[in-house]
Structure formats: C-alpha cells, structure tokens
A and B are shown apart, each in its own frame.
Chain A
Amino acid sequence: MRISIENRLTGRVYDVEIDPGHTAKDVIDMLIEEGYIPATPFTDYYWVLVDPRGIMIDENEALATRVREGEKLSLVAVFTPG
C-alpha cells in the first residue's frame, strides 16, 4: 500500500510503500535508517505519526488499520524543554 508522510518540521513529503503489518515505529525507523530524518528530531524530542483524521498513532500499531491507500500521515516532533 502506498501512503505519503509529511514531515511537519521540514515540510518534506515522503511517499512510502508499506505492508499491512508495518507499524508506526517500523516506518519511523526506516526513515531514520535511510537517512531521511535524524534519530530524534532534537534532544528531548520524539517522532510521532498522526493519521489523516488528526489522531496520533501508537508506535506499535499497524498503520493499515489507520490509513488507506494514497492517504497522507503527518510526522510530528513532540516533547520539548521548557
């Protein structure tokens, strides 16, 4: 299944092919391993995927349950120092 992922920090959009069992963590790890995004956005920040309806996806949840072919997810950096 083809989906898009928009990095809300940079505005870049990644088109990704996923299998039904792939989780949010799998996709984030892939983007990190391929060098598209750093391991953490910044110190004390973490990557989070958000579905097209604006609801966060748990890192262990299979993406196929939350996204349909051609839809776009958002990649967000959260938890920051104050």
Chain B
Amino acid sequence: MEGIGEVAEEKPRILRIYDPMSDPTDRQKRIRGWNQERIEKARVLVVGAGGLGNEIVKHLVMLGFKKIYIADYDQVVEANLNRCIFFRMEDARKRKNKALTLAERAKEMSPYPDTEIIPLSTKIGDEGITYDDKLWKDIDLVFGAVDNVMARVYLSISALYNSHELKRSIPVVDGGVRAFNGNIFVMVPFKTACLACELPESVWTDPWKRASCSGSSLPNVTISPSLPTTFSVIAALQVNEAIKILHEGALGKPLIGKRLCIDLSRGDWYVYEVPKNKSCKVCSMVPEG
C-alpha cells in the first residue's frame, strides 16, 4: 500500500505481446538464418500462369512475398484444372485470362492484407514484357514457368538485356515439367549459362516447335502430359532456390548455374553444372556489364 506523500514506483509496462499463434510467418522465422524482411522486400515476376505458375504463386503468397507480378496472355481451359489450384471450372467456361484469374484468387488466399499481385495479360517476347523498362526496374528475381523453348529463349534475352541496362543482375529460376519428369535451372545473367546455352543446334532450325499445356493453333504443337504432383515438386524447388538466392547464402548455397532433374517414376534426382556456351546465340546478343 502506498502511504500519503509517497511516490508510486512505476510498474514495468508491456509494450507488445508477440503471440506465435497469430503470426502466419512465425514458423518460417524459426529457421536459422531466415530473414522475413528479405522476402517481404523482394519484387518478383512469374512468367507463365499455368501449372507451375499457380504453384509458385501459392508458395510466394504463403511465404509473405509482398509484390508479385504475373505475366500470361493465355486463357484458362478445362484441361488446366488437374494442376492449377487457383482455377475453377467457371473460369474455364468463361475462358478468363490466366494471369488475371491467378492474381485474383491468390490475393483472396493471402493471409497478409498488403500483398500486391499485379497481373499482366501479355507474354514474353518482342511485343511482350521483354523490353518493358518500367516493369524490369521493379523486379529483383524472375520465375520461369513457361511451356515452350522460344519463351525460354526470350526469358534469357529479357534477363540479360535488362540486367545489362539496369546494371544489376536479375536471376531467373526456371522450371519445366512433363508427366513424372521435371527440372529446374538457376540462371544469373553474365555469371552462369543462360537458358539457351544448353540448346542443341538443331533447335534453331525449328524454334517455334512447342509443347502446349492448353493446346494451340500453332503448327507442330503437341500436348504435354501433366501431373499435379510433379508440378508441385518442381514449383516448390523453384521457390526454394529463390529463397536461398534472396538470403545470399544464409540459408544454404543456391543451385547457381546448375540444373536439377527429377524423375518421380524412378525416384531419381540428379544435379549437374551447365557451363556457359561460348557460341550461345542468346548470350552473344547482349554485351556483359
């Protein structure tokens, strides 16, 4: 009890109570070396809003990425629904734009009110986002989730050209899936091989040959067999590499310049290094620096 004339001793004040159950990022922050700020400040571009794009965006949103661009000019069709978690039958019936639909649904799912997801109803290429200076200024890392070789070539050109223009390296974490098989590759412009360095010379004679997820009126198109399980694994690996790149080694060494191949039918995982190809048609297009 306080007596008359005595000054009450000030009690300690609780400034903030951290409840681990109320923070969606709590469990990942418990990983040694994790820096949530690096995730939240990163600005990423997902090129392709199909099976891989859906899974990649799902992971990005859950991890707390705050600025996500999604580029895809294509429309949702019924055949996408076995592997695209954010698409619904109604979207396919209305032939809604993939990027727009993915952005809307992912925003709904996000536990963070300030997640910004920007859909771009366009493709990569000369008339697409390749030379969109304003966009690339706002990008730190790119995910490749495309379905054909030429898009990968343009992805390489985009990363090289914009890294050169902006004088900073914009890494690309590319992924591809076919049935039980898939692979990822981490390209760092001017430091590693590009996505085209591995292409055999024969590809350049028929570069528009492509395997499409949704079918297309283009010549030489075949429809690729697709399993949601393989898509989930490859997309998770892509996002995992991005996390490591953004943490600059604090969470382990990223697979820079390496290709990781998986064969889920045989349970086989394989990593190899892709050297820079001195005669690569894409690398030689953009001067270093």
A binds B: yes
CA distance A45 to B200 in the complex (A): 10
Residue B274 lies at the interface, judged by CB distance under 8 Å to chain A: yes
Over the window 1-33 of chain A, the binary record of Cβ atoms lying under 8 Å from chain B Cβ atoms (1 yes, 0 no) is 000000011010000000000000100000000
Residue B148 lies at the interface, judged by CB distance under 8 Å to chain A: yes
Within the complex, the shortest CB–CB distance from A15 to chain B, in Å, comes to 20
CA distance A59 to B203 in the complex (A): 13
B51, B152, B234: the one contacting A79 at CB < 8 Å is B152
Chain A neighbourhood of B181, CB < 8 A? 9, 42, 45, 77, 80
Residue B80 lies at the interface, judged by CB distance under 8 Å to chain A: no
Chain A neighbourhood of B209, CB < 8 A? 43-44
Over the window 118-142 of chain B, the binary record of Cβ atoms lying under 8 Å from chain A Cβ atoms (1 yes, 0 no) is 0000000000000000000000000
Over the window 41-61 of chain A, the binary record of Cβ atoms lying under 8 Å from chain B Cβ atoms (1 yes, 0 no) is 011111110100011101100
Chain B neighbourhood of A47, CB < 8 A? 200
CA distance A21 to B32 in the complex (A): 51
Chain A neighbourhood of B52, CB < 8 A? 82
Known: A44-B148, A44-B224. Is A80-B178 also a contact (CB below 8 A)? yes
> Would you call A79 and B272 a contact (CB within 8 A)?
no
Q: How many residues of chain B get a CB closer than 8 Å to chain A's CBs?
A: 44
* Residue on A nearest B266 in the bound complex, by CB: A11
> Would you call A43 and B266 a contact (CB within 8 A)?
no
> Would you call B270 and A8 a contact (CB within 8 A)?
yes
Task: From B17-25, B93-101, B210-218, give the one contacting chain A.
Answer: B210-218
CA distance A9 to B149 in the complex (A): 20
Residue B244 lies at the interface, judged by CB distance under 8 Å to chain A: no
Known: A44-B210, A79-B149, A80-B183. Is A74-B272 also a contact (CB below 8 A)? yes
* Residue on A nearest B196 in the bound complex, by CB: A79
Residue B271 lies at the interface, judged by CB distance under 8 Å to chain A: yes
* Residue on B nearest A57 in the bound complex, by CB: B275
Within the complex, the shortest CB–CB distance from B10 to chain A, in Å, comes to 61
CA distance A81 to B94 in the complex (A): 25
> Would you call B261 and A81 a contact (CB within 8 A)?
no
Over the window 203-242 of chain B, the binary record of Cβ atoms lying under 8 Å from chain A Cβ atoms (1 yes, 0 no) is 1000001111100000000101000000000100000000
> Would you call B175 and A76 a contact (CB within 8 A)?
no
CA distance A78 to B148 in the complex (A): 12
* Residue on A nearest B220 in the bound complex, by CB: A43
Over the window 176-190 of chain B, the binary record of Cβ atoms lying under 8 Å from chain A Cβ atoms (1 yes, 0 no) is 111001110000000
Of residues 238 to 289 in B, which have CB atoms within 8 Å of A's CB atoms?
A: 259, 261, 263, 266, 268, 270-275, 277
A8, A56, A82: the one contacting B275 at CB < 8 Å is A56
* Residue on B nearest A25 in the bound complex, by CB: B200
Query: CB within 8 Å of A: which residues of B?
Result: 48, 50-53, 144-149, 152, 175-178, 181-183, 198-201, 203, 209-213, 222, 224, 234, 259, 261, 263, 266, 268, 270-275, 277
Interface pairs A-B: 4 shortest CB-CB:
A80-B176, A81-B147, A81-B211, A44-B211
Selected A-B contacts with CB under 8 Å, 5 pairs: A9-B181, A81-B148, A82-B146, A82-B176, A82-B177
